[in-house]
Chains A and B, each alone.
Chain A
Amino acid sequence: MGTRVNQIGLQRNDYKGRPSTLCQGCGHNSISNQIIAVCYELSIEPHRIIKLSGIGCSSKSPAYFLGRSHGFNALHGRMPALATGAIMANRDLTGIGVSGDGDTGSIGLGQFKHMVRRNVPMIYIVENNGVYGLTKGQFSATADIGQELKYAGLNELPPIDICLEALAADVSFVARSFAGDAKQVRELLKAALSHKGTAVLDIISPCVTFNNHETSTKSYPYGKLHEEALQDITFIPEYDPIIVDVHEPGQVQAVRMHDGSHLVLRKLDPVKHDPTDKLAAFRLIEEARIENQFITGLIYVDEHRPNLHETTHLIQAPLVHLTEADLRPSAEALDRVLGEICCQ
């Protein structure tokens, strides 16, 4: 028996990166593994992906997946701008951004919201653990109010909710998940890859070294105990037929993605949520926060909002594929402009 390959003849190993230098058991490693699994499963050509990150533990992780894809480890909180430039330069590329709660919720909150507002076509993953790991355990802006940490003491400030911030910036796809829920992370990643605008995935990813107490909502024990999934999610690529279980039609919602694929959501009782209803999305997050619930799943999606390629009226060909003949106007064009300036 030969080694298993996907539809484009690549092995799973072809999607791996360098060995992780993060802590054993770090939620980030699990997320990296799901990215590898999904790209292999969907037979994505690695050279069509770019990996982008800021600074922090999360931002190191793109080195640990998709070693055959170009990547850029940018500045703290400034990955959205860099991603925007790259994706405008080459619209054939699929951007996977990996950020953390310090990177997105503090230093980079402004860039994050402006990226969402522009609807830059890319996946933006926040590996959210509520703590600064590389600097040894300070609270981040997503840390729970009232939480206590050995290094940082008591946190008396309310957390910033990444999903709420995204919604307020008119996000076109936002979901929350838990690094310990590998299947859900995979299905959401697949859906995000089919989305034509910014897809924000806020993935609670426990820090096993500095913030894994069960008092923290960003810990494994808390996540395992309290996760309330909004839906059972099944992603159906465009080349597979849609088979929806029709026994409970009121409980099933199929969201058609921009590229023709479908996201099938089976509602779980007692949580009923329509992910195309923005006000309901706001309410859901706020209610969950008040009740200390840990809601995961697709919170909001809008497949119609134009992305930045559309709002800038960019040509279909990637800008970087244009040649000198396309880019440099002719000598006659210069003469004409100079004629208009001089008129004499």
Chain B
Amino acid sequence: MSDVQTSPLDSLMADQEPVVNDFQIMIATVNGSGSQTANSTLLRAIFRMGVPVSGKNIFPSNIQGLPTWFTIRLSKDGYIARREDYHILVAMNLQTVEEDITNLAVGGIVLYPEEWKIKHKRDDVVYYPVPVKALVDESGTPSSFVSYVSNMVYVGVLATLLNIELEQIEYALNFHFSNKPKPVNMNMALVRLSYDWAQDNLPKNDPFTVERMEGKTDGMLLLDGNSAGALGTAFGGVQVVAWYPITPSTSMIDALRTYLSDMRTNPDTGEASYAIIQAEDEIGAIGMLVGAGWAGARAMTATSGPGMSLMTEFAGLAYYAEVPIVIWNVQRVGPSTGLPTRSSQGDVLAAYFLGHGDTKHVVLLPSSLEDAFEFGWKSFDLAERLQTPVFVLSDLDLGMNLWMGKLFEYPDQPMDRGKVMTAEDIQRAGEFARYKDVDGDGIPYRTLPGTDHPDAAYFARGTGHDEKAIYSERPDDWVANIERMNRKFDTARALVPPPVVDEVAGTEIGLIAYGTTDACIVESRDLLREQGIETSYLRLRALPLSDATRDFIRRCDRVYVVENNTDGQMAKIIYMEYPDLAPKVKSIAYLDGMPLAPRWLTRAVQEREQER
């Protein structure tokens, strides 16, 4: 087979200290070529060796043919944010190979099919040509399966180069194929063949290696955020799901269907204690939720920006008629169709104020698998307690990428079904008025359709109404009702998940962030500390804001609000809510489709500090 080509830096590299469990692999492929199996197999195998990993799939809005990149970051220190540089390039896309090589870190390595002629070779990286076609031919893979398994060649070669345990690769394949022997064996045969070829033919000429670690990933799982949110939703006792397919939220409903079919279907009769309806559009989807929520069911949907835009009118109705529903928005990049397969935190303002008139919503902000699971069930408790829509703003990065997370904890409180009056309750109270503030917290009592009492019924509506839900255009009725709803919104401040605060004594600088930027902040704070800049950190978990956030800002001299959008949307909400504190609050906001990277953020904070 082929000769290994070498570069002038080879001798230098050979003398280098080994780079162990602290580098990034970039796999460049063509969309639709089945690389997901190979990539998640590598990721899981390395995770199984106890090494902290994170994977990001950078894919096109396309079914077949456009370029796709997958990064696997190994971090012995446990960092899981996006890393901008990469050290190992698996170049399997001729379209992008030149650019992919250009961006490779100095001293990095390139695996590529040996038949490719690479025009502009760099002399500061190592090239490993691989006889992909010959290995596939030799494996005897039936022709109809070749395109599915070819990517196993780079899995096998990397296993040799980096010392990834073959047992873990086999384990990961079994996981991927649910222990079906035929696909596992077919893939594994090519992995072994490629592994052996590399052992015999590929003298290692680079410092990168994977070593088994202890204690870093114990008791952790590897999952995508959409599945975590779906599992939480299942443990929230969801009853009605209505949805319309849209990237990147679709896999959340897919996962939910799997979990519910497993846990909430009678195995003898096949009857389901839930309904999942694929609606004709997002308007239909949220309309079904409003009907179901009004009737007393726990109802949820998952969507993304364009879908949430379509849901606007119903969101306003649910807010004003006070109907509990849960809407997951797995954010992608807007405006408009934007970048459908890229991540952002661009829908914060849109979700918070979705609807015309004086509308505002409760918004949950998950930043991890654990949050996604917890908010999956807790969103229903909040929606029913507050009788209002609850938005969960996840994003593509959390939803569709594989993350490490702690094992989920079973809900620590029973389901909170909120203030619902039965026929007996009405009898005892002697009165039912749908929109009356009986308890002073702004949250009224409701009855459910089907309640057998002459006074139980009311006519829910989006039009102006009095305490008894009767149509009213009277100014005093309108004002009293809106003031009560605002009281309710203030009640929500104390009920939503409080922020997580890590306050460092003696520092003047505070960081505020939310959602998936958390991973970036965690690493960036360490990098800033190395530069002598200590920071306190408040991670928001929900809107509306609570006193804890206001007090944090007060205690800091200056606060940077970090977010993955262009307009600094959360910073704007803070300016609105706490105008007196606004001079202290600075926005660091950036969006180009990629999750924020710690080195970028570190530089951004340093620059801001120098400008002072």
Q: For the complex, is A149 an interface residue (Cβ under 8 Å from B)?
A: no
Q: How far is the CA of A118 from the CA of B277 in the complex (A)?
A: 10
Instruction: Report B-chain residues with C-beta under 8 Å of the C-beta of A71.
Output: 457-460
Does the CB pair A82–B273 fall under 8 Å? Answer: no
How would residues 41 to 67 of chain A score, 1 for a CB under 8 Å from any chain B CB and 0 otherwise? 000011110111000000000110001
Instruction: Report B-chain residues with C-beta under 8 Å of the C-beta of A62.
Output: 459
Does the CB pair A328–B237 fall under 8 Å? Answer: yes
How would residues 64 to 102 of chain A score, 1 for a CB under 8 Å from any chain B CB and 0 otherwise? 000111111111001011111111111011000000000
Q: How far is the CA of A162 from the CA of B291 in the complex (A)?
A: 24
Closest A residue, CB atoms, query B463: A73
Q: For the complex, is B583 an interface residue (Cβ under 8 Å from A)?
A: no
Instruction: Report A-chain residues with C-beta under 8 Å of the C-beta of B351.
Output: none
Q: For the complex, is A246 an interface residue (Cβ under 8 Å from B)?
A: no
Does the CB pair A86–B264 fall under 8 Å? Answer: no
Tell me which of A227-235, A286-294, A308-316 binds B: A308-316
Instruction: Report B-chain residues with C-beta under 8 Å of the C-beta of A331.
Output: 410
Q: How far is the CA of A198 from the CA of B188 in the complex (A)?
A: 54
Does the CB pair A341–B240 fall under 8 Å? Answer: no
Residue pairs across A and B with CB atoms within 8 Å: the count is 218
Closest B residue, CB atoms, query A114: B280
Q: How far is the CA of A341 from the CA of B259 in the complex (A)?
A: 12
Q: Which of B234, B259, B314, B461 is within 8 Å of A78, CB to CB? A: B314
Q: For the complex, is A333 an interface residue (Cβ under 8 Å from B)?
A: yes
Q: For the complex, is B90 an interface residue (Cβ under 8 Å from A)?
A: no
Interface residues of B in 253-271 (CB under 8 A from A): 259, 262-264, 266, 269-271
Does the CB pair B292–A86 fall under 8 Å? Answer: yes
Q: How far is the CA of A312 from the CA of B279 in the complex (A)?
A: 13
Q: Which of B269, B288, B313, B377 is within 8 Å of A85, CB to CB? A: B288
Q: Given A71-B460, A88-B240, A313-B272, answer yes or no on A320-B221 (Cβ-Cβ < 8 Å).
A: no
Interface residues of A in 293-322 (CB under 8 A from B): 308, 312-316, 318-320, 322
Q: For the complex, is A5 an interface residue (Cβ under 8 Å from B)?
A: no
Q: Given A78-B314, A92-B450, A320-B295, answer yes or no on A85-B240 (Cβ-Cβ < 8 Å).
A: yes
Looking at the assembled complex, report how far the CB atom of B41 sits from the nearest CB atom of chain A, in whole angstroms: 14
Interface residues of B in 282-320 (CB under 8 A from A): 283-299, 313-314, 317
Q: For the complex, is B453 an interface residue (Cβ under 8 Å from A)?
A: yes
Does the CB pair A85–B270 fall under 8 Å? Answer: no
Instruction: Report B-chain residues with C-beta under 8 Å of the C-beta of A308.
Output: 277
Instruction: Report B-chain residues with C-beta under 8 Å of the C-beta of A72.
Output: 291, 294, 321, 459-461
Instruction: Report A-chain residues with C-beta under 8 Å of the C-beta of B48.
Output: 344
Q: For the complex, is A225 an interface residue (Cβ under 8 Å from B)?
A: no
Looking at the assembled complex, report how far the CB atom of A110 sits from the nearest CB atom of chain B, in whole angstroms: 6
Instruction: Report A-chain residues with C-beta under 8 Å of the C-beta of B449.
Output: 47, 50, 69-70, 86, 90, 93
Does the CB pair A75–B317 fall under 8 Å? Answer: yes
Q: How far is the CA of A84 from the CA of B447 in the complex (A)?
A: 19
Q: Which of A74, A89, A315, A329 is within 8 Å of B295, CB to CB? A: A89
Does the CB pair B292–A89 fall under 8 Å? Answer: yes
Q: For the complex, is A326 an interface residue (Cβ under 8 Å from B)?
A: yes
Q: Which of A83, A318, A343 is within 8 Å of B291, CB to CB? A: A83
Does the CB pair B450–A342 fall under 8 Å? Answer: no
Q: For the complex, is A272 an interface residue (Cβ under 8 Å from B)?
A: no
Does the CB pair A341–B459 fall under 8 Å? Answer: no
Looking at the assembled complex, report how far the CB atom of B447 sits from the nearest CB atom of chain A, in whole angstroms: 7
Looking at the assembled complex, report how far the CB atom of B350 sits from the nearest CB atom of chain A, in whole angstroms: 19
Interface residues of B in 398-426 (CB under 8 A from A): 407-408, 410-411, 414-415
Does the CB pair B274–A319 fall under 8 Å? Answer: yes
Q: For the complex, is A111 an interface residue (Cβ under 8 Å from B)?
A: yes
Does the CB pair A90–B284 fall under 8 Å? Answer: no
Instruction: Report B-chain residues with C-beta under 8 Å of the C-beta of A93.
Output: 295, 449-450
Q: How far is the CA of A42 from the CA of B240 in the complex (A)?
A: 31
Q: For the complex, is A248 an interface residue (Cβ under 8 Å from B)?
A: no
Q: For the complex, is A334 an interface residue (Cβ under 8 Å from B)?
A: yes
Q: For the complex, is B604 an interface residue (Cβ under 8 Å from A)?
A: no
Does the CB pair A319–B240 fall under 8 Å? Answer: yes
Instruction: Report A-chain residues with C-beta under 8 Å of the C-beta of B466.
Output: none
Does the CB pair A73–B284 fall under 8 Å? Answer: no
Q: For the complex, is A338 an interface residue (Cβ under 8 Å from B)?
A: yes
Looking at the assembled complex, report how far the CB atom of B584 sits from the nearest CB atom of chain A, in whole angstroms: 42
Looking at the assembled complex, report how far the CB atom of A117 sits from the nearest CB atom of chain B, in whole angstroms: 9
Q: How far is the CA of A328 from the CA of B260 in the complex (A)?
A: 11
Q: Which of A80, A319, A337 is within 8 Å of B275, CB to CB? A: A319
Q: For the complex, is B579 an interface residue (Cβ under 8 Å from A)?
A: no
Q: Which of A75, A110, A327 is within 8 Å of B314, CB to CB? A: A75
How would residues 233 to 250 of chain A score, 1 for a CB under 8 Å from any chain B CB and 0 otherwise? 000000000000000000
Instruction: Report A-chain residues with C-beta under 8 Å of the C-beta of B452.
Output: 45, 47
Q: For the complex, is B462 an interface residue (Cβ under 8 Å from A)?
A: yes
Closest B residue, CB atoms, query A69: B457
Instruction: Report B-chain residues with C-beta under 8 Å of the C-beta of A341.
Output: 221-223
Interface residues of B in 485-500 (CB under 8 A from A): none
Instruction: Report A-chain residues with C-beta under 8 Å of the C-beta of B407.
Output: 338, 342
Q: For the complex, is B231 an interface residue (Cβ under 8 Å from A)?
A: yes
Instruction: Report A-chain residues with C-beta under 8 Å of the C-beta of B284.
Output: 78, 80-81, 84, 110-111, 114
Does the CB pair B451–A47 fall under 8 Å? Answer: yes
Does the CB pair B317–A322 fall under 8 Å? Answer: no
Q: Given A73-B462, A81-B288, answer yes or no on A329-B263 (Cβ-Cβ < 8 Å).
A: yes
Q: How far is the CA of A80 from the CA of B454 in the complex (A)?
A: 27
Q: Given A81-B291, A319-B239, answer yes or no on A312-B461 (Cβ-Cβ < 8 Å).
A: no
Does the CB pair A84–B295 fall under 8 Å? Answer: no
Does the CB pair B450–A47 fall under 8 Å? Answer: yes
Q: How far is the CA of A187 from the CA of B448 in the complex (A)?
A: 30
Q: Given A47-B450, A78-B283, A82-B291, answer yes or no on A343-B297 (Cβ-Cβ < 8 Å).
A: no
Q: How far is the CA of A75 from the CA of B259 in the complex (A)?
A: 33
How would residues 468 to 486 of chain B score, 1 for a CB under 8 Å from any chain A CB and 0 otherwise? 0011000000000000000
Q: Given A72-B460, A89-B291, A110-B281, answer yes or no on A329-B242 (Cβ-Cβ < 8 Å).
A: no
Looking at the assembled complex, report how far the CB atom of B179 sits from the nearest CB atom of chain A, in whole angstroms: 10
Instruction: Report B-chain residues with C-beta under 8 Å of the C-beta of A324.
Output: 237, 414-415
Does the CB pair B273–A315 fall under 8 Å? Answer: yes
Q: How far is the CA of A89 from the CA of B291 in the complex (A)?
A: 8
Q: For the complex, is B235 an interface residue (Cβ under 8 Å from A)?
A: yes
Does the CB pair B240–A315 fall under 8 Å? Answer: no
Does the CB pair A313–B271 fall under 8 Å? Answer: yes
Q: Which of B221, B236, B299, B457 is within 8 Å of A89, CB to CB? A: B299
Looking at the assembled complex, report how far the CB atom of A168 sits from the nearest CB atom of chain B, in whole angstroms: 15
Instruction: Report B-chain residues with C-beta under 8 Å of the C-beta of A333.
Output: 263
Q: For the complex, is A18 an interface residue (Cβ under 8 Å from B)?
A: yes
Instruction: Report B-chain residues with C-beta under 8 Å of the C-beta of A50.
Output: 295, 449
Q: For the complex, is B456 an interface residue (Cβ under 8 Å from A)?
A: yes
Q: For the complex, is B175 an interface residue (Cβ under 8 Å from A)?
A: yes
Instruction: Report A-chain residues with C-beta under 8 Å of the C-beta of B290.
Output: 74, 81-82, 85
How would residues 105 to 124 of chain A score, 1 for a CB under 8 Å from any chain B CB and 0 otherwise? 00000110010001000000
Q: Apart from A110-B281, A338-B407, list 16 A-B contacts with CB within 8 A.
A: A67-B457, A69-B457, A73-B462, A85-B242, A85-B287, A85-B288, A86-B449, A88-B288, A110-B280, A114-B279, A315-B266, A316-B271, A320-B239, A327-B273, A328-B415, A342-B407
| B positions within 8 Å CB-CB of A | 48, 171, 175, 221-223, 231, 234-240, 242, 259, 262-264, 266, 269-277, 279-281, 283-299, 313-314, 317, 321, 377, 407-408, 410-411, 414-415, 447-454, 456-463, 470-471
The 7 lowest CB-CB distance pairs between A and B, nearest first, are: A81-B287, A85-B291, A327-B237, A85-B288, A89-B297, A85-B292, A86-B291
A-B contact pairs, 19 of them (CB 8 A): A45-B452, A47-B457, A67-B457, A70-B459, A72-B459, A73-B460, A75-B314, A80-B284, A81-B279, A81-B284, A81-B290, A89-B239, A90-B450, A93-B449, A114-B280, A314-B272, A315-B266, A315-B272, A319-B297
